[in-house]
Structure 1
Amino acid sequence: MARFRCGACGRKGECEYDGDRHGCPLCGSAEVVFALAIEEVPDELLAALSSLETDDEERDED
């Protein structure tokens, strides 16, 4: 389950996260923020974030 908060309708709650849908589950507005559990984050995104972390570490060493 993912938590959400909508800036348009002002409501918040929990919903099943669908990575293809980027609107409020209640009103459909794009002014919504989702908070995902780490288990729900797509593997591709985790890999991209890990590679960014590695790049930053390499820059700090220079």
Structure 2
Amino acid sequence: MARFRCAACSRDGECEYDGKDHRCPLCGSPDVVFALAIEELPDEVLDSINSVEPLDDHRDEEDR
């Protein structure tokens, strides 16, 4: 299940998200934002996230 919030109809809720339809499940507007659980992300996205090198932290010890 994915959470969604629509700017057009001002509603939010949960829906099944298949990754193909990027419209509000209630009004059909394309002005919608989906929030997916990490388990629902495609393997390609997870592989990309896992391949990113961590940032070096160049802060001085005094700043910590």
TM-score (norm 1): 0.79
Structure 2 Cα separation of the partners of residues 9 and 35 of structure 1: 17
Residue 28 of structure 1 deviates from its aligned partner by: 1.1
How far, CA to CA, are the matches of 2:49 and 2:8 in structure 1? 29
Identity of aligned residues (%): 67
Matching residue of 1:23: 23
The number of residues matched between the two structures is: 57
Instruction: For 1:6 and 1:41, locate their aligned partners in 2 and report how far apart those are by CA, in whole Å.
Output: 20
Q: Which residues of structure 1 form unaligned runs of 5+? A: none
Aligned partners of 1:27 and 1:18: how far apart in 2? Answer: 17
TM (norm. structure 2) is 0.77
CA distance in 2 between partners of 1:31 and 1:12 (Å): 12
Q: Report the structure number with the largest CA radius of gyration.
A: 2
